[in-house]
Structure 1
Amino acid sequence: MDRERVKPQKKLYPTPALEKGLDILELFAREPGGLTKSDVARRLGRTVSEIFRMLLCLEERGYISQSEGDDRFRLTLRLFRMALEYPPAKRLASEAIPVMQEVAHEIRQSCHLGVLEGGQVVILSQVDSPVSPHFYVKAGSIVDPTHSATGHAILAYLPEESRAHALALWQNKAGQRLPKDLEKHLAKIRAQGYEERVSYEIRGITDLSFPIFDEYGAAVAGLTVPCLARIGQPMNMASVREVLRNASMRLTEKIGGVPPAK
């Protein structure tokens, strides 16, 4: 899927102070090792005096912190906890864990649950495979929706207006054009009911994802297994597919959802 760079959309109602704070949070989200005041200022093209008060406020509110004797700030888990406390996400994550644990033990692969938020896929929860070695996507990860099985599974089953809005948000964040064959690919997913493809990122992984539906038949999440091909242990994708299909339907029922009409 070819993608081209586009200019970010012009903002109708600029809010400089808020945008500065959000820029800082988003920067820290990409830097698990932490950043000093000077690092933040340099990365954002600002002076230290411009970002000092912002960092102080974020630290006082518990969004970032410093270890004793370390001049680097790091994100705390406050944002992640807030996301999990959001009622729909909290209910979905709590209902999903037991189902995901059964899936992981039955197919001996890890699995994860992702939702679409602000033009990005956020991994809400994850369960490890009971065997080693295994591959997993950690909870709290941010994933490109146009470059992941989870994102595709969700996008394929969104109402047209919601999908257009999500993709517009993605374009504005990524500064890229949509993949040329995206609509064709999403139509294929709708026809077969799931996404299955070789991983965009890791060799030897086949990503399989089924949508989780709300009461209107729209996707609210994607339940995904990154299937790791182990030497001497041929993988029966048909069996994995059936287990994940059943799990996605069970989870849909648990949250009061229904599959869309054919």
Structure 2
Amino acid sequence: MEALLYGWPWLALSAGAILVLVLGLAPRPAGAPPRLRDPKWLLQIGLPIYMLHQFEEHGRDVFGRPYPFHASFCGVLGHPDLATCPADPAFLFAVNVGAVWIAFITGALAGPRHAMVGATALGVPLVNAFMHIGPAVAKQAYNPGVLTSVLLLLPLALIGLRGLAGAGLLDRPRIAAVVAAGVALHAGLLVSLTAFERGLLSHPALLAVQVALGFVPLALGLVVGNARRA
């Protein structure tokens, strides 16, 4: 179990790199729009790009430090002693492999027909990028994940939203829903973590909540998408 909790970022790196190459180099069907304007392609590329970001956060950061985000996040929570930190490796695994991967996979599977599902998944990298970039700018200091937030996450979210909007699948109210989905997922994990620390949630329940949060973009995307069509 420990090998999985600490080794999954290497799986994310390998799978992410392979999928980026496949999606980036695969021949385009006749008559298909350019990749950056193709809703189907934009909804598929999200998870591989995010996986590369996850490696900088949880695999090796730019200084070569292993599993760097754990200590950084626990420090922000006021728990410099990792033994007392409520955000243990199982929690981080449930957030990243549970919530984040579920959000992107459901978005890719829903495809352009239910584009709001994939679009709301883009709220995750959009909000997460600012949660890395904001502190880095404010403190003038590096944090694990900020480099790929600037180079990958923020461009992913902005290009993805622009491409979906250009295809007529997004308007301003729907973009607001995308941001709301990203905020809701991040707020949910912090609220549940606080509840666990106060004894209001058991550890298994804490992990289950993180997995459930992965379906927030799916639910919100379906509700908003159906409402707008109606």
Identify the TM-score tier after normalising by the shorter chain. under 0.3
Higher relative contact order (CA 8 A, sep 6+): 2
Question: TM-score with structure 1 length normalisation?
Answer: 0.24
Question: TM-score with structure 2 length normalisation?
Answer: 0.27
